[in-house]
């Protein structure tokens, strides 16, 4: 039996990609390997439908134990939790979102690196943010006994930017939330249709509305598509949304673009049930979880042909040039006009998605844990 600790901040506070990865990893491990004890360290905890994993009997939640930790959660996550870690006598610590504490850890250390986009495309980030992200990543990859990269692209970037020994890195694709494994209920579908007033035909873009996600070029594709087809963008807004709206206004398609800010994650399967296809033509991703969610659920997916999206989409997706609205429009039109193609993409998607099931992912992650713990214990006995 092992005692395993997680940096669980994003499992409780983030409802996007990092949060989904954290929750699915914790949920699968605590269920499949339920003979271990799991400790979730988080500066904040509140009940939410997505936090059901925290009710498992083999899970203990740790929050800041003193005023300083509660007042300065960043300080607690990096330094002052060391007394709690010492009392819990962990065998392993897993930084689920690219970070390791700055304080000494008397345990094996594993970190998941999702992407190094801030180094690959620095123009998408503010200078101070880039500085902080690089410092955290450099500390994590140097201090970890094993690194989990969620794609081959991310593994290559770790080697390129930090000179890390490739033998230290394990590529383990992430899974997606089990809610995408089964069809949405008719009740949920009707709820989504009523809430968002969906038309007969629409396409859906997923992810934070930011420059890297490239939603403006999807909007530029709309004039080339039938006039009854609308675009629904589901994702957190950033100032880039103003640019997207301006493009839609200029092209005369403002009434065909609907922005949905921070939608309820649980309703997305119903959205996928109603949409013609999912568009995710990001310039660069560490993995591209919406691509996997889409093919897992059974909706045709159009994505970019670069970075890790080829890994996520396999032979089931259509790939468009993210810099070409015409190519994006052509790929959408192919799906709109061909039920045969649509059916074929869905069937290939089901097959490809089996490689990413959470149980398979958890088994590979736990194998990394055992290896890291064994090597750590050997090093202590030398």
169-216 tens-digit pLDDT:
999 998 888 889 999 999 999 999 999 999 999 999 998 889 989 999
Rg (C-alpha) for the chain, rounded Å, is: 21
| Domain match, 164 and 199 both | no
CATH number at residue 312: 3.40.50.2000
Q: Measure the CA dihedral 87/93/94/100, to 10°.
A: 90
pLDDT in tens, 53-62: 888 899 999 9
What H or E segment, with its residue span, contains residue 351? helix 339-353
What H or E segment, with its residue span, contains residue 176? none
| Domain match, 332 and 210 both | yes
CA pseudo-torsion sign 156, 162, 165, 168: negative
Domain that holds residue 226: 178-355
| Domain match, 299 and 368 both | no
Report the predicted TM-score, pTM, of the whole model to 2 decimal places. Answer: 0.84
| Domain match, 220 and 86 both | no
Measured CA angle at 181 (ends 189, 364), to 5 deg:
155
Distance between CA atoms of residues 143 and 110, nearest Å? 9
User: Would residue 382 count as lying in a domain?
Assistant: no
How much is the pLDDT for 307?
65
What tokens appear for 204 in the block? 């859906």
Sorting pLDDT into bands at 50, 70 and 90, what band is 382? low
| Domain match, 363 and 282 both | no
User: Would residue 246 count as lying in a domain?
Assistant: yes
User: Would residue 381 count as lying in a domain?
Assistant: no
Distances from the Cα of 37 to the Cαs of 6, 55, 88, 100, 199, in angstroms? 11, 13, 10, 20, 49
| Domain match, 158 and 247 both | no
How much is the pLDDT for 324?
97
Strand order in the sheet with 169-171: 59-62, 37-41, 3-7, 92-95, 108-113, 146-149, 169-171
């Amino acid at each position: 039996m092992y005692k395993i600790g997680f940096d669980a901040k994003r499992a409780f506070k983030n409802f996007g990609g990092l949060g989904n990865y954290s929750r699915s990893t914790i949920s699968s491990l605590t269920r499949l390997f339920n003979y271990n004890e799991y400790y979730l360290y988080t500066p904040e905890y509140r009940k939410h439908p997505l936090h059901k994993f925290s009710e498992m009997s083999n899970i203990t939640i740790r929050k800041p134990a003193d005023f300083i930790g509660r007042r300065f959660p960043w300080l607690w996550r990096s330094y002052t939790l060391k007394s709690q870690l010492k009392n819990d006598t962990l065998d392993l610590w897993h930084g689920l979102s690219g970070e390791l504490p700055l304080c000494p850890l008397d345990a094996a250390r594993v970190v998941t690196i999702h992407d190094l986009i801030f180094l690959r495309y620095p123009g998408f980030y503010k200078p101070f943010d880039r500085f902080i992200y690089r410092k955290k990543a450099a500390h994590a990859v140097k201090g970890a006994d094993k690194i989990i990269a969620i794609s081959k692209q991310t593994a290559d970037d770790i080697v390129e930017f930090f000179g890390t020994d490739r033998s230290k890195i394990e590529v383990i694709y992430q899974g997606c939330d089990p809610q995408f494994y089964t069809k949405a209920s008719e009740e949920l579908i009707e709820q989504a249709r009523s809430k968002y007033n969906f038309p007969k035909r629409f396409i859906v873009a997923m992810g934070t509305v930011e420059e890297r996600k490239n939603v403006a070029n999807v909007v530029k594709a709309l004039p080339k598509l039938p006039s009854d087809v609308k675009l629904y963008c589901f994702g957190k807004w950033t100032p880039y949304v103003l640019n997207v709206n301006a493009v839609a206004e200029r092209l005369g398609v403002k009434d065909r673009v609907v922005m949905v800010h921070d939608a309820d994650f649980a309703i997305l399967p119903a959205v996928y049930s109603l949409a013609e296809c999912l568009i995710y033509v990001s310039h660069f991703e560490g993995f591209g979880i919406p691509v996997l969610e889409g093919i897992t659920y059974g909706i045709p997916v159009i994505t970019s042909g670069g970075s890790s999206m080829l890994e996520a989409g396999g032979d089931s997706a259509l790939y468009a040039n993210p810099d070409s609205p015409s190519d994006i429009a052509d790929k959408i039109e192919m799906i709109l006009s061909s039920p045969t193609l649509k059916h074929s993409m869905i069937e290939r998607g089901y097959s490809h998605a089996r490689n990413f099931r959470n149980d398979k992912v958890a088994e590979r992650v736990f194998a990394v844990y055992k290896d890291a713990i064994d090597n750590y214990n050997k090093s202590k006995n030398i």
